Amino acid sequence: MSQPIRLKDHEKDARLVRSRVVVGAVAVVLLVCVLIVRLYYLQVIQYDYHSTLSENNRVHVQPIPPTRGLIFDRNGVIVADNRPSFSLSMTRERAGDWHQVLDAIVEVLQLTPDDRALFEKRMKQGRRPFEPVPILFELTEEQIARIAVNQFRLPGVEVVAQLVRHYPQGPHFAHSVGYVGRINEKELKTLDPVNYSGTHHIGKTGIERFYEPELHGQVGYEEVETNARGRVLRVLKRTDPVPGKDIVLSLDIKLQEAAEAALGGRRGAIVALDPRTGEVLAMVSQPSFDPNLFVTGISFKAYAELRDSIDRPLFNRVLRGLYPPGSTIKPAVAIAGLDTGVVTAGTRVFDPGYYQLPNYDHKYRNWNRTGDGWVDLDTAIMRSNDTYFYDLAHKMGIDRLANYMNRFGIGQKVALDMFEESPGLMPSREWKRATRRQAWFPGETLILGIGQGYMQATPLQLAQATALIANKGKWNRPHLAKTIEGLPPVDENPMEDIVLRDKSDWNKVTHGMEQVMQGARGTARKASIGAQYRIAGKSGTAQVVAIKQGEKYDRNKLQERHRDHALFVGFAPADDPKIVVSVMVENGESGSGVAAPVVRQVMDAWLLDEHGRLKPEYATPSVAQEPAQ
């Protein structure tokens, strides 16, 4: 029964498909015509153009590397520029037997087999066919002449002028600006192959690394016609590269030099910040090194010398040096104590020279073994009284303490634009359980109150914690770049400001820090003698080797490298802070005796004019009169 209907349908279906076959056939014919028209255009209309190109000549696309952005200090002094330099490059496809040509180069320039091995390695890093690979940099006039005379023996070899990074300030900014170096194989894998097709150098550390995308710019290219020997005959099409952005640093070269001078020849670190903005004014890590060595490739011997030096010049102490903050953390701990209500400004603690936990024998010593008697908050900061802070930390407990210290930036990356900053360490119950599989002991909280124990911070973090006190809790991430092509850097991940229940707590702690400098019994009063402005500061000592219970620190028994590190943090003018300085002197022993004068010198360099008077822009009515001694 269904047969006839099915057959009828079948007939209709067949017609439908047949009509679609016709449509398909028409489409095929039309599209083939499109192809033929395109080929006609290429092969007939544009024939002359293409055939001239191919007549013994070759079309080539050459990348034009962008000029790397310049770096200036805050006054416009150049810190990183690009210098024309001649390098020798070779194009493998044009050299014929390139191993033989390498032999010829080595012979002509009278180089060593080591150099030849290096050339061979560099040749293997070539990325595209027909790419000239630079194999030797910074050619001398004589080398250029030798190559010119022997050019006939060196097919595919050219002397190329290119811009190479140069750091005119030498070691001054090696740890902040960093340096560029040749792109290595690992970097090659992650780089954008197009944008870096003409670039041979890349930022390795510091600002050069952090702002690599901004500094590099966008590659340009030109389509050129070359003859069979690779000589460029004419440019067919050119797209200009977009040069990298210029960066103005917040660093001040004069302050940087003054800070280095203040440190003398000692190993150590200095950070100077403007607390109102987070701008880093000086960043010293001594000893330093000459970044220019790394640009065109440092010799293995020179590198090994830097790397293995006991003074560790390559080590960035400001960003990577981890030290127990010692007493420099006490102002922040005091803020935590006041804000949690554990203490008030009037709370007094009796100091017999040690502190004991109930039911424990262990005596936690004050640095002053004879004891300071009854101490309140102000005195505790001024005298750096350990007993008071043991008591405060014990009452507060580890959880609240860790929380406040984190908000002050301890255990956090604080910088906005610095490469490989260490986060430091603020221990907590969770941290100890996770890393040591142990419960938290109350005694560990006590020593955290005086900045010892597991706590570790970088000089930069100490500067930032101090800047927060100077700035009454307002967070500005420290940054090195003032502007990038005129625009300030943007903080994508801002920290939460520290808002206290009672704002006047900031003044209470600041007053204590002023007493450190200017008070009659202040631990660093010597460092402020003759100052034109009031300073708020705090000293600290970071132990290098542990001292046993009941034993005394005896400097004569310790090797020089095992002596304590001296720390000092401070800001000035105390009532309207314009500069925060944090200093760490390696094995300097005394925070107030060694580090504090360094802080003072840096502040003087920033706040005083050439006649030794306070610069008018930093003068405020309250510091017009002679500061009290």
Partner 1 sequence: MKSNFDRMLSSEDVMRRRATFLQRIHVDGPLLVLLLTLAAGSLFVLYSASGKDWDLLLKQASSFGIGLVSMFIIAQFEPRFMARWVPLAYVFGVILLVVVDVMGHNAMGATRWINIPGVIRFQPSEFMKIIMPATIAWYLAKRTLPPHLKHVVISLVMIGVPFILIVRQPDLGTALLILASGAFVLFMGGLKWRWIISVVAAAVPVAVAMWFFVMHDYQKQRVLTFLDPESDPLGTGWNIIQSKAAIGSGGVFGKGWLLGTQSHLDFLPESHTDFIIAVMGEEFGLVGICALLLIYMLLIGRGLVITAQAQTLFGKLLAGSLTMTFFVYVFVNIGMVSGLLPVVGVPLPFISYGGTSLVTLLSAFGVLMSVHTHRKWIAQA
Which residues are part of the catalytic machinery?
327
482-491 — which CB contacts under 8 Å span 24+ positions? 482/74, 482/248, 482/249, 482/250, 482/279, 483/247, 483/248, 484/211, 484/214, 484/245, 484/246, 484/247, 484/248, 485/69, 485/214, 485/245, 485/246, 485/247, 489/416, 489/417, 491/416
Residue 356: both structure tokens together: 């004991």
- Distance of alpha carbon 78 from alpha carbon 391, whole angstroms: 52
**Contact criterion met (CB below 8 Å) for 568 and 500:** no
Residue type, 443: G
Round the CA-based radius of gyration of the chain to a whole number and report it: 34
251-254 — which CB contacts under 8 Å span 24+ positions? 251/73, 251/74, 251/79, 251/173, 251/176, 251/280, 251/281, 251/282, 251/283, 251/480, 252/73, 252/74, 252/75, 252/281, 252/282, 252/606, 253/73, 253/75, 253/77, 253/79, 253/169, 253/172, 254/75, 254/605
Residue 435: both structure tokens together: 């890393």
Residue 302: both structure tokens together: 């020179």
Q: How far is CA 299 from CA 23, 118, 587, 614, in A?
A: 72, 11, 32, 48
C-alpha of 51 from chain center: 54
Provide the minimum distance between the beta carbon of 484 and partner 1 in the complex, in angstroms, as a whole number. Answer: 19
Provide the minimum distance between the beta carbon of 19 and partner 1 in the complex, in angstroms, as a whole number. Answer: 8
Q: How far is CA 431 from CA 238, 425, 442, 455, 613, in A?
A: 58, 10, 15, 12, 50
Provide the minimum distance between the beta carbon of 105 and partner 1 in the complex, in angstroms, as a whole number. Answer: 23
Which CB sits closer to partner 1, 31 or 261?
31
Provide the minimum distance between the beta carbon of 18 and partner 1 in the complex, in angstroms, as a whole number. Answer: 5
**Contact criterion met (CB below 8 Å) for 502 and 338:** yes
- Distance of alpha carbon 268 from alpha carbon 315, whole angstroms: 11
**What is the largest distance, in Å, between two alpha-carbon atoms of the chain?**
121
Residue 480: both structure tokens together: 């090195």
Provide the minimum distance between the beta carbon of 92 and partner 1 in the complex, in angstroms, as a whole number. Answer: 11
Which CB sits closer to partner 1, 40 or 300?
40
Provide the minimum distance between the beta carbon of 198 and partner 1 in the complex, in angstroms, as a whole number. Answer: 9
Helix (H) or strand (E) holding 78: strand 78-91
What is the DSSP secondary-structure string of 296-327?
S---HHHHHHHHH-TT-TTS-HHHH--B--GG
Provide the minimum distance between the beta carbon of 87 and partner 1 in the complex, in angstroms, as a whole number. Answer: 21
| Cβ contacts of 580 within 8 Å, gap of 6 or more | 272, 273, 274, 275, 463, 466, 467, 470, 569, 570, 571
Provide the minimum distance between the beta carbon of 162 and partner 1 in the complex, in angstroms, as a whole number. Answer: 18
Phi (first) and psi of residue 437, to 5 degrees: 55, 45
Which CB sits closer to partner 1, 53 or 425?
53
Which CB sits closer to partner 1, 90 or 393?
90
- Distance of alpha carbon 132 from alpha carbon 1, whole angstroms: 82
Provide the minimum distance between the beta carbon of 38 and partner 1 in the complex, in angstroms, as a whole number. Answer: 5
Q: Which residues bind partner 1 (CB under 8 A)?
A: 9-10, 12-14, 16-21, 24-25, 28-29, 31-32, 34-36, 38-40, 42-44, 46-47, 49-51, 53-56, 58-59, 61, 63, 93, 128-130, 193-194, 197, 219, 221, 223
Q: Can you tell me whether residue 541 is helix, strand or coil?
A: strand
Which CB sits closer to partner 1, 19 or 309?
19
Which CB sits closer to partner 1, 21 or 161?
21
Which CB sits closer to partner 1, 31 or 304?
31
- Distance of alpha carbon 504 from alpha carbon 499, whole angstroms: 11
Q: Is the peptide bond before 577 cis (omega within 30 degrees of 0)?
A: no
Which CB sits closer to partner 1, 222 or 575?
222
Residue type, 460: L
Provide the minimum distance between the beta carbon of 29 and partner 1 in the complex, in angstroms, as a whole number. Answer: 8
Provide the minimum distance between the beta carbon of 11 and partner 1 in the complex, in angstroms, as a whole number. Answer: 11
- Residue ranges of alpha helices (H) inside 471-595 are 504-518
Which CB sits closer to partner 1, 52 or 629?
52
Which CB sits closer to partner 1, 51 or 151?
51
Which CB sits closer to partner 1, 55 or 551?
55
Q: What share of the chain is helix, strand, coil (3-state, %, to 5)?
A: 40, 20, 40
